[in-house]
C-alpha cells in the first residue's frame, strides 16, 4: 500500500494556501463599479499615450504607426460596460480554467481505464490503480464545477452572456438558441452528467477493489459491461459538456468538431498524468513490476494523441480561415488579435515538442525524457483551455498574473491531494485481474 508522504502532503497544502491568497487578490483587485473600471481604463490610455509620444520623439514614421495602433486600442474601450464586465470576469475565468482542466484530466483517466477494460488489454493492469487514483478527484471536482455554474447562473459573473436576460432581449441569434440555452435546462443536464460520471467511477472502482478480495470472474464481466456503458455515455455527454461549459461562452459561434477537440486535449493530458504519476511512484520504490515497456506504451499514447489534437486544431482553423465567413472567423480573429503569441505557441508546445522528442522510440523508455515531455504537454494544454475560455470572457483585458497563477496553484494542490489520497486507499496491484500475469511479464 502506498502512503502519501508528509513532503507531498505539505506541498499540496502550501499550493492550496498560496493559491487561495492569489485568488482572493484577484477578486479584490477587480473593479467593483463602472467608475473604478473607468479609472483603470483612463490610466491604461494615459500609459499608452505616453509610450506613443516617447516613440514619436525617437522615430516619427514608426511612431505614427504605433500611435495609430494605440489609438485603435483606446477606441476599443469606449464601451465602458463591456470593459467593466471583462475586468470583473477575469478572476472568475482565472478560476474556471484550471478548475475545468484538472477535472477533465480526472475524467480522462477513468475513460482510459474503461478503454483498457473494454479492449481487454493485457499490458496495463499494473497501472489500473494509478488511473483509479487520478479519477478520485472527480467527486470534489464535480462539486466545485457545479457550484461555479450555480454562481454563474445567479449573475455573479458574466462568463455566459446568454444567461443575461437583457443581452438575450437584444440578440436574435441567442433568442433562437434559448430552447437549449436556458438556465434551468443548463443546470439540470449538467447535474445529470456530473452525477452519471461520478456514479460510474464509484461503481467501477468498487468492483475493482472487491475483485481483490474475491477471485470472482463475474465481477470482471460486470466491470466490462459497466465500462462499455460508461464509454457510450461519456462520448455523448462529453460533447454536451464541451458545448455547454466552453463553446456557449462564444454564444454566436459553433463548431461541429469542438467536442472532439476538447476530448483530444483532456485525453492526452490524462494519459500524460498517468505516466507522470507512475514514474513518480516508481521513483519511490513502488510499482516495481512496471517496466520501461509500460512507460513506452504510455508515451506512445502521448505522442499519438498529440498528433491527433493537432490534426483537429488544424482542421478547425484551416476550414474556418479558408471559408472566411464572418460568423465563424470572428472566433479566431479575437484570438489572433489579442492572444497571438499564446495561440501559435500552444501549437508549438503541443505538437512540435512531443513530435520531436517522442518520435524516437528509445526516448519513450527514458523516464526523465517522458517527464520533460509530459510537463510540456500539460503546460501546453492548460494554455489550450486558457484560449478556449479567456477570449470570450475577458477579451483584451486578459493577463497572466497573480489571479491566474494563484488559481493554477490552488487546483494543482487540490488535485495532488485527492489523487495521492485516492492511490493510498487502494492496493497498488489489482491481484485478481484476469490479465495481471500478462501485465507483469510485459516486455517487447
pLDDT tens profile 93-141? 999 999 999 999 999 999 999 999 999 999 999 999 999 999 999 999 9
User: Domain ranges in the chain?
Assistant: 96-440
Residue 386: the pLDDT is: 96
pLDDT at 72: 47
pLDDT of residue 42: 66
Q: How far is CA 237 from CA 183, 264, 386, 388, 420, in A?
A: 18, 15, 22, 19, 27
Helices (H), 120-250: 128-134, 138-153, 165-169, 172-177, 183-213, 217-241
The C-alpha cell of 85 is what? 464586465
Contact 272, 377 (CB under 8 A): yes
Report field, pTM of the whole predicted structure over 0.85 = yes
Residues in the chain with pLDDT < 70? Answer: 33, 37, 40-79
Please tell me the predicted confidence (pLDDT) of residue 397: 80
Residue 167 CA to residue 48 CA, distance in Å, equals 31
Q: What is the structure's pLDDT at 295?
A: 94
pLDDT score of 47: 56
Amino acid at each position: 500500500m502506498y502512503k502519501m508522504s508528509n513532503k507531498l502532503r505539505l506541498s499540496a497544502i502550501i499550493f492550496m494556501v498560496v493559491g487561495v491568497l492569489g485568488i482572493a487578490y484577484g477578486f479584490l483587485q477587480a473593479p467593483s463599479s463602472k467608475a473604478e473600471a473607468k479609472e483603470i481604463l483612463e490610466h491604461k490610455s494615459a500609459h499608452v499615450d505616453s509610450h506613443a509620444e516617447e516613440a514619436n520623439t525617437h522615430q516619427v514614421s514608426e511612431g505614427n504607426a504605433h500611435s495609430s495602433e494605440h489609438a485603435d486600442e483606446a477606441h476599443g474601450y469606449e464601451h465602458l460596460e463591456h470593459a467593466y464586465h471583462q475586468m470583473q470576469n477575469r478572476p472568475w475565468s482565472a478560476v474556471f480554467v484550471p478548475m475545468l482542466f484538472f477535472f477533465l484530466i480526472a475524467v480522462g483517466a477513468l475513460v482510459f481505464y474503461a478503454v483498457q477494460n473494454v479492449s481487454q488489454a493485457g499490458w496495463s493492469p499494473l497501472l489500473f490503480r494509478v488511473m483509479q487514483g487520478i479519477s478520485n478527484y472527480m467527486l470534489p471536482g464535480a462539486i466545485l464545477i457545479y457550484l461555479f455554474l450555480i454562481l454563474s447562473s445567479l449573475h455573479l459573473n458574466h462568463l455566459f452572456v446568454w444567461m443575461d436576460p437583457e443581452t438575450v432581449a437584444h440578440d436574435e441569434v441567442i433568442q433562437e438558441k434559448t430552447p437549449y440555452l436556458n438556465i434551468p435546462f443548463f443546470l439540470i443536464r449538467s447535474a445529470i452528467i456530473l452525477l452519471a460520471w461520478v456514479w460510474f467511477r464509484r461503481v467501477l472502482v468498487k468492483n475493482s477493489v472487491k475483485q481483490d478480495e474475491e477471485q470472482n470472474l463475474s465481477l470482471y464481466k460486470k466491470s466490462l459491461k459497466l465500462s462499455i456503458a460508461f464509454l457510450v455515455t461519456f462520448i455523448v455527454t462529453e460533447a454536451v459538456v464541451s458545448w455547454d461549459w466552453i463553446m456557449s461562452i462564444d454564444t454566436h459561434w459553433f463548431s461541429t468538431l469542438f467536442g472532439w477537440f476538447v476530448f483530444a486535449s483532456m485525453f492526452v493530458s490524462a494519459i500524460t498524468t498517468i505516466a507522470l504519476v507512475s514514474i513518480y511512484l516508481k521513483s519511490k520504490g513502488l510499482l516495481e513490476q512496471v517496466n520501461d515497456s509500460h512507460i513506452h506504451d504510455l508515451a506512445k499514447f502521448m505522442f499519438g494523441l498529440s498528433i491527433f489534437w493537432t490534426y483537429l486544431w488544424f482542421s478547425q482553423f484551416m476550414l474556418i480561415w479558408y471559408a472566411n465567413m464572418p460568423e465563424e472567423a470572428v472566433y479566431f480573429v479575437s484570438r489572433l488579435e489579442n492572444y497571438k503569441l499564446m495561440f501559435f505557441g500552444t501549437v508549438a508546445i503541443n505538437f512540435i515538442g512531443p513530435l520531436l522528442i517522442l518520435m524516437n522510440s528509445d526516448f519513450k523508455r527514458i523516464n526523465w525524457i517522458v517527464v520533460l515531455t509530459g510537463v510540456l504537454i500539460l503546460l501546453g494544454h492548460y494554455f489550450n483551455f486558457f484560449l478556449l475560455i479567456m477570449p470570450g470572457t475577458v477579451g483584451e483585458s486578459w493577463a497572466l498574473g497573480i489571479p491566474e497563477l494563484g488559481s493554477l496553484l490552488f487546483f494543482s494542490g487540490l488535485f495532488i491531494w485527492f489523487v495521492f489520497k485516492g492511490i493510498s486507499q487502494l492496493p497498488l496491484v489489482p491481484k485478481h485481474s484476469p490479465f495481471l500475469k500478462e501485465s507483469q511479464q510485459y516486455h517487447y
